[in-house]
Amino acid sequence: MQVGFRTDTGRKRAINEDALLVLPGENLFAVADGVGGSNSGEVASRSAMNGVEEFLKNNPVSHAEDMEGKYRQNWFKGYFLRCFRKINNDIIDTARSRPENSGMATTAVTAYFDDKTLYITNIGDSRAYMIRAGEITQLTKDHSYVADLVSTGTLTKREAREHPRKNMITRALGAGPEADPDFYCFDTEPGDRLLLCTDGLHGELTDDEMCETLKAETDLNNACRKLVQAANEKGGRDNITVVCVEE
CA-based nearest residue to 109, from 96, 98, 100, 122: 122
| Residue of 36 and 11 predicted with greater confidence | 11
* 8 A C-beta contact, residue 34 and residue 43: yes
Q: pLDDT band at 36, cuts 50/70/90?
A: low
Mean pLDDT of the chain: 92
**How many angstroms separate the CA atoms of 158 and 75, rounded?**
38
pTM value > 0.75? yes
Chain CA centroid to CA 4, Å: 15
Please write the tens of the pLDDT for every residue from 44-70: 999 999 999 999 999 988 877 778 888
Which tens digits make up the pLDDT trace of 87-137? 999 999 999 998 888 889 999 999 999 989 999 999 999 999 999 999 999
> pLDDT tens digits, residue range 203-229?
999 999 999 999 999 999 999 999 999
> Residue 81: which domain range?
2-246
- 133: CATH: 3.60.40.10
Band of pLDDT at residue 246, cut at 50, 70 and 90:
very high
Angstrom distance (rounded) from CA 67 to CA 72:
5
- The SS3 assignment for 216 reads helix
The tally of domains found in the chain comes to 1
Q: What DSSP string runs through 92-142?
A: HHHHHH-GGGTT--EEEEEEEEETTEEEEEEESS-EEEEEETTEEEE-S--
Is pLDDT of 144 > 90? no
Rg of the chain over CA atoms, in angstroms? 17
